Amino acid sequence: MNFKIFIGLFLCTQLGWAQEKAKDTTAIKIIETFFEIAYTQPLFYGDNFINKGYDVNSTLDFGVTTDFYYKTTLHFDLNVTSADVVRPELIGNIRSANLTRVSFGMGYPLDIVDKLSFLPSLHVGYIKIGQKVEDGKFRDDGVFLQIEAALNYRLFEFFDISLGLKNHYDFIRIEAPSQVQSFFDNAQSVYPYLGVRFRVDK
């Protein structure tokens, strides 16, 4: 009798462990993956060389977002923006520039109502500024911290409309006289955007 009780407890334990393992496997399974494209107009602010010296053009954002582990999101984003010099007396003999951003981040979606969700996320990234002068090119680069907030509306099962804002804090390595170093070694900007997301995992 004791042996039968032992076998019964053992089988119950194994069944419970298997169910718990199945739950854990479901928890880490990738839920959704989206390819994103959005129209954005960068707006620089503050006392820095990009805000004071350049006119930054509108551009497109490209990204991939994947949900995993209790809906936590992973993000990869790419943005290339062109800018025209409007105050050469502030930044030197530069005609134009291209700003390239690559970033990775994490977020967590919050459901508001049916089909509408709010997605805050935090990103770190690399920025390259390709400068064009009369007799050639050179580049400056640095890193940035990005805070993003987005509203996503599920129009179809495979298609979302997005409205959001990205706030960048840039830390750029540029050699400059000490009295103007702070003018060149940082920049701040917001990128408001309107875009779409295509579900690609199914």
Using one digit for the tens of pLDDT, what is the confidence trace for 162-181? 999 999 999 998 877 777 78
Question: Are 13 and 37 in a shared domain?
Answer: no
How high is the pLDDT of residue 69?
Answer: 78
- DSSP 3-state percent helix, strand, coil across the chain (nearest 5): 20, 60, 20
Question: Are 45 and 17 in a shared domain?
Answer: no
Higher pLDDT, 94 or 6: 94
Question: Are 74 and 119 in a shared domain?
Answer: yes
pTM of the entire predicted model = 0.80
Domain that holds residue 45: 31-199
What is the tally of structural domains in the chain?
A: 2
> Do 102 and 78 meet the contact criterion of CB atoms below 8 Å apart?
yes
pLDDT exceeds cutoff 50 at 13? no
Question: Are 20 and 36 in a shared domain?
Answer: no
Q: How many CB atoms lie within 10 A of CB 39?
A: 13
Q: Which domain CATH number covers 44?
A: 2.40.160.20
